[in-house]
Amino acid sequence: MSDFDQLADYVFKGNAAAVKDLTQKMVDAGNNPMEIISNGLLLGMDIVTPKFKAGEMYVPEVMMAAKALNEGMTIVKPLIADADIAVSKTIIIGTVSGDLHDIGKNLVVMILESGGFNVVDLGVDVSPEKFVAAIKEHNAKIVGLSALLTTTMMNMKLTIEALKEAGLRDDVKVLVGGAPVSQSFADDIGADGYCADAMAAKEMATAYLN
């Protein structure tokens, strides 16, 4: 097995220590950092995605794989010139006002980062004003809203209204997710996309920004 295939396999298996060691070894051996990302680290995540969708892998395993991948990214990212990578693609994300659930959102963050996005995570209980300010500050083209409570879902709508009031709505795609959220709810509140899981979020964000 080549070092690239071995690296992908370690990511797939969520072996963070092995990913860290092998990534460093490959950097020291003079491998191109972009190739380490594309042909090793991200390849491992590409094995995870269909297995998760098919129900052959579960959330804890996906989180382990994403954590392992991030160990490798931490080593190679500083070696790459900004222009070379997609990390300039910034996504703002947060759990809406009144809601403290963040396990699913954190998973989305990890998967988006593994897809090369620069994710600004505003945390939980994020007010519409804070979303607006962050979108302006980072000039972001995508914002992700998470809600796990039926009582806080409507704060997604309030956040979209705040974007309209701030004159930002036409410039930013709004993705919504969380267990009680559905496609029809997303349509009702005027969101651009609904994602049932983190993998769908990565696919949709990639489609929007390309």
Residues that bind ligand B12 (CB under 6 A): 59, 93, 98-105, 107-108, 144-146, 148-151, 175-180, 195, 197-198, 201
Shortest distance, position 28 Cβ to ligand B12, whole Å: 35
Question: Is residue 198 within 8 Å of 107, Cβ to Cβ?
Answer: yes
Distance, in Å, from the CA atom of 25 to the CA atom of 31, rounded to the nearest integer, reads 9
- The H-or-E segment that residue 119 falls in is strand 118-121
60-88 exposure pattern, b = at least 16 Cβ within 10 A, e = fewer: ebbbbbbebbbbbbebbeeeeeeeebeee
- Residues 111/199, Cβ–Cβ less than 8 Å: yes
Backbone Cα Rg of the chain = 18
